Amino acid sequence: MENILGALRHIIAESNITHIIWCSAILLVMLILAILHRCWSDDGVMLKRWRLLCLIPLIICGVHAYIYLMYALPLLAGFYPMYIIGILALLPIPFARRRIGYRISSLLTGLLSCLCGLYFMLTSPNSFNHTRESYTESFHSLVQDMDEHYVLKEWKEVDFQALEDKYMPAVEKAEKDQDPAKFAETVQMFCYEIHDGHVDAEVVLEPDDPATCFDIRDYGFATVRLDSGEVIAVCANKKAKKLGIEDGTVITKWNGKPVLKAAEDAPDQGEPVKSNADMLAVMNLDLVGGDTVEVSFIDKGGKEQTVTVSDSGSFKTKFKATARFRGLEPPISEEKLLEENFTTKMLDDKCGYLKITAEELDSVYEEYVGILTGDQKYAREIFREKLNGLKDQGMEYLVIDLRNNCGGYDEIGSALCDLLTDDDLYGQGLGIRKDGKYICVSDHGIHGTGEFADLQAVALTNCDCASAGDGLSLSLSKLPNVTLAGITDPNGCNQETGGISVLSDGIVTVYYPTGLVLNENGEPNIDTKPDRVSRDPVEVHIPFDREAAMKMFHDKEDYELDWAVEYLKGNTAQPPANAFARHLLAYFPS
């Protein structure tokens, strides 16, 4: 019971009290309407007035929408439950003079309204509408919103006033020039400087608006950095090949600069983990340049050549390279990834495969039971059925694919860990932020059943494995029979999203975390400090050399998955006996 009360306290702490008051006012009006009907049920004249009074909840919803949602449609979804209550108030009107009909309709209205009200109070978004403000006003409002509600302000040592002072001149210039693209670019740069995978700026611009420094260019090939430090071309098209640049060609200079130095000029993409950012910077070389770029490379004869490449205006090459680096084959979509969630198959006669693209269930009720109790029995049963199905097919070892996991609920990941260990381990704590301090109010753990504790597994992760996926990466790395592996570390964020600020004219919508997830030491779980050192590193780095790059980008093979299978077969160096010990070594290197 203590954990349940703590979880409720955590949920309410990240809700917006202003919107909860609005919802409570609507419910209070409906209660008054029910009392008035009882008093006026035998008075035909008063019942006519009562029918008009039933419009009040809907009118309150309309006023709320005008104040908080006008020109900010992205916020609408968070308020559906409250607005449904306003519509439900209309249900008893036709039955006002029918005793049985009114009893049934009012009972349904009351029951559904209470359920919607409870759900809204548990999910009330921390959303703020600044669409009717000017560029400078809305940017200032965003800074105030985040200064008050951004849950990691103290942990990441963010000085919002200093950031506002740094970026406000560019916002003022954008306002003076009426340049929405420059305004959007500045807000993006502000957000990325926080280096939190949950802080994101969604931009809506017109096709004829000026370009920003984040606009993708296509020079006919993409670039990746190998473990050796070499930079090579990948996904080269016919135009690039005619110039002598093919898949695997070593790139040496970009506009006359050494290529790695040029990559440092690429705009910050906000990666929380610095080592991930360094590796991905080379993939953003298309952002360093203009309509044309001078590229130097080593030709087949071993000599350095320089050619001029032009931007084709397409996004295909960048998207193709980015997808394959993440183990995907375009076209890709979030819907497709979610459809593949919890899918299983046998990779060969001994190796099973479980894909987890999100820690989500089909039932909101089941998800909230897990949050409140800390025991996700529904997810545990799903994973038990999946693993038993693979075992029946001959599984002796397992690959758990967490790449590109978009998160969800940490308790679902803990349910998988329950089956893979016979130990009790700390999972995560739900916390509240008060006066700049973090307080844990509900402890959620991993309680091993031992059913698959002897099953050797590799968990594949990458820089796009975030939030609850990041949490699952960390939990799995603590298990002695599981090895966390990847070319990059996980994203480096694990807090709960909830903050939304929509800025001037809806040009930019900024999302940020407002819910607190803590570790056993009462610190934010996983999220990087200002040093941007991963607190959830892979235990085994998957080698990324020329051969690996050619398999991924040229041959379109899933190199990481093939590596994991071979690793489990014992064709690569075996991991130390205790995987958790490897995890500790990441914090305390010799």
Which string of DSSP letters, residue by residue, matches 235-292? S--HHHHHTT--TTPBEEEETTEEHHHHHTTSPP---SSHHHHHHHHGGGGGGSS-SE
Task: Judge if 376 and 419 occupy the same domain.
Answer: yes
Q: What share of the chain is helix, strand, coil (3-state, %, to 5)?
A: 45, 20, 35
What is the per-residue pLDDT across 187-237, written as a single tens digit (0 to 9) for each? 999 999 999 999 999 999 988 888 888 999 999 999 999 999 999 999 999
Q: Which burial class, exposed, middle or buried, applies to 588 when counting CB atoms under 10 A from its CB (0-12, 13-18, 19+)? A: exposed
Q: How far is Cα of residue 63 from the mean position of the Cα atoms in its chain?
A: 32
**Residue 533 shares a structural domain with residue 572:** yes
pLDDT reading at 587 higher than 90: no
Residues 462, 528, single domain; the answer is yes
Judging by beta carbons within 10 Å of its beta carbon (0-12, 13-18, 19+), is residue 42 exposed, middle or buried? exposed
Is the same domain home to 354 and 456? yes
Inside any domain, residue 140: no
Do 310 and 339 lie in one domain? The reply is no
Q: How many other C-beta atoms lie within 10 A of the C-beta of residue 261?
A: 10
* Residue where one domain finishes, among candidates 282, 314, 346: 314
588 falls in which pLDDT band (50, 70, 90)?
very low
CA pseudo-torsion sign 520, 524, 525, 527:
negative
Domain contains 198: no
Do residue 274 and residue 363 come from a single domain?
no
User: Do 346 and 271 belong together in one domain?
Assistant: no
Helices 17-40/56-68 angle, 10° precision: 160
* Stated pTM of the model: 0.90
Q: Quick check: is 329 in a domain?
A: no
What pLDDT, in 10s, does the model give residues 430-471? 999 998 899 999 999 999 999 999 999 999 999 999 999 999
* pLDDT of the residue at 571: 54
Residue 233 Ramachandran class (φ > 0 left, ψ -120 to 50 alpha, else beta): beta
Do 528 and 385 share a domain, yes or no?
A: yes
The torsion angles phi and psi of 512, rounded to 5 degrees, stand at -155, 155
CATH code: domain of residue 365? 3.90.226.10
Q: Assess whether pLDDT exceeds 70 at residue 577.
A: no
Tell me how long the chain is.
590
If asked whether residues 296 and 402 sit together in one domain, one would say no
Distance from C-alpha of 216 to C-alpha of 222, rounded to nearest angstrom? 11
> Confidence class of residue 16 from pLDDT cuts 50, 70 and 90?
confident
**Is residue 395 included in any domain, yes or no?**
yes
Residue 136 lies in a domain: no
Token pair listed for 429: 């704590």
State whether 354 and 256 are in the same domain.
no
Same-domain pairing of 272 and 366: no
* Sign of the alpha-carbon dihedral angle for 286, 267, 553, 296: positive
Banded model confidence at residue 344, pLDDT cuts 50, 70, 90: very high
pLDDT value of residue 575:
44
Tell whether the model's pLDDT for residue 581 goes beyond 60.
no
- Sheet harboring 304-310: ordered strands across? 257-258, 251-254, 292-298, 304-310
Residue with tokens 């203590």: 2
Q: Quick one: what percent of the chain has pLDDT higher than 90? A: 83
Is 418 contained in some domain? yes
Q: What is the tally of structural domains in the chain? A: 3
Domain membership of residue 298 as a residue range? 222-314
- Are residues 233 and 88 part of one domain? no
* pLDDT tens-digit map of 549-575: 999 999 999 999 999 999 999 854 444
Query: How far apart, in whole angstroms, are the C-alpha atoms of residue 111 and residue 543?
Result: 58
Residues 329, 335, 341, 344: is their CA dihedral positive or negative? negative
- As given in the structure block, the two tokens for residue 422 are 């016979």
Is 338 within a domain? yes
Long-range contacts of 88-92 (CB under 8 A, 24+ apart): 88/112, 88/113, 88/116, 89/26, 89/29, 89/30, 89/33, 89/54, 89/55, 89/56, 89/57, 89/58, 89/113, 90/54, 90/55, 90/58, 92/37, 92/54
Residues 61, 65, 67, CA angle at the centre, nearest 5°?
A: 120
Say yes or no to pLDDT of 586 above 50. no
Contacts with 578 (C-beta within 8 Å, 6 or more apart), sequence order: 480
In a domain, 320, yes or no: no
Beta strand spans in 336-449 (E): 343-346, 351-355, 397-401, 424-434, 437-447
Residue 241, φ and ψ in degrees, nearest 5: -65, -35
Q: What is the pLDDT of residues 292-334, one digit of tens each?
A: 999 999 999 999 999 999 999 888 999 999 999 999 987 777 7
Q: What percent of the chain has pLDDT over 70?
A: 97
